[in-house]
Amino acid sequence: MTATIFSIANQKGGVGKTTTAINLSASLARKKIPTLLIDLDPQGNTTSGLGLKKESGGSLYDVLHGEANAIDRVKETTQKNLSIIPAEVDLAAIEVELSRKGDYLMRLRQCLSPIKRSDRFRAIILDCPPALGLISMNSLACADKLIITLQCEYLALEGLSQILNIVEDLRSRGINPSLEVGGILMTMFDIRTNLSHQIVDDVQKHFPQLAFQTVVPRSIRLSEAPSFGQSIFDYDKMSSGAKAYDRLGDEVIQRFGL
């Protein structure tokens, strides 16, 4: 059984991509789904957010250049069923270097193909940089499902149509005809504001098949957890954020047949 590749992407920063990548991966692992989390952001926040050091030669940099194998970059985490391929700052150079190669949009797909076909993982989660550059486009070119994290603010809606158009473009051009928008996850929901409620209502009204029922609340505990190198389940499993990502894990398993 091949693994399902999920890309967590949004061109806007600060919308909960990394928080979701870490905690959705941890949620799936807790539910006995062998999961590989891949940090594609040169800032390496996912890497440090799980308590790993950013080490030279540990990322997919040389793998994307065809000089190493992705499987050799996989590291175990302290959580059972959860592995990671870390990031480091050298990934920043990939944006320029890949553009010089003819198959620049297909490099990540080629690199991850052996891992996807193996029986080692059932879910592979890609955490993308906060921009639709070549790394993010490579992520979309190899993913089966795109999960869009959408902050509960008005301006966040303006970028939604852009990323949906990019998905359609990648499909129509034959770059990744099987790519699907797997779901829209509303994040940073503030129960006290009418705007948060309005944004959730609008998304669920216009995208009823895509919007996850789970809505992730604005939470200090979610913000604190990465500074301790822990998922929200290790940091505060009784918090509202932990409960939300636990529910999201159930939704993802059910929606995608994991």
163 in Cβ contact with 148 (< 8 Å):
yes
50 in Cβ contact with 94 (< 8 Å):
no
* Sign, Cα dihedral of 241, 236, 253, 71: positive
pLDDT at res. 194? 86
The enclosing H or E element of 201 equals: helix 194-206
- Which residue carries 């999960």 as its tokens? 147
pLDDT at res. 58? 86
pLDDT at res. 245? 97
Q: Is 75 helix (H, G, I), strand (E, B) or coil?
A: strand
pLDDT, mean of each 10-residue run, the chain (258 residues): 90 82 97 97 92 87 91 94 93 82 87 93 94 88 94 77 89 94 91 85 89 93 94 96 97 95
**6 burial type by CB count under 10 A (0-12 exposed, 13-18 middle, 19+ buried):** buried
- Which residue carries 């990031």 as its tokens? 87
pLDDT at res. 78? 92
Amino acid at site 96: V
pLDDT at res. 179? 95
Domains of the chain: 4-256 (3.40.50.300)
DSSP collapsed to 3 states, 3-53: CEEEEEECCCCCCCHHHHHHHHHHHHHHCCCCEEEEECCCCCHHHHHCCCC
pLDDT at res. 124? 98
CA–CA gap between residue 99 and residue 242 (Å, rounded): 39
Q: Which two tokens stand for residue 173?
A: 């051009």
pLDDT at res. 93? 86
pLDDT at res. 225? 95
pTM: 0.94
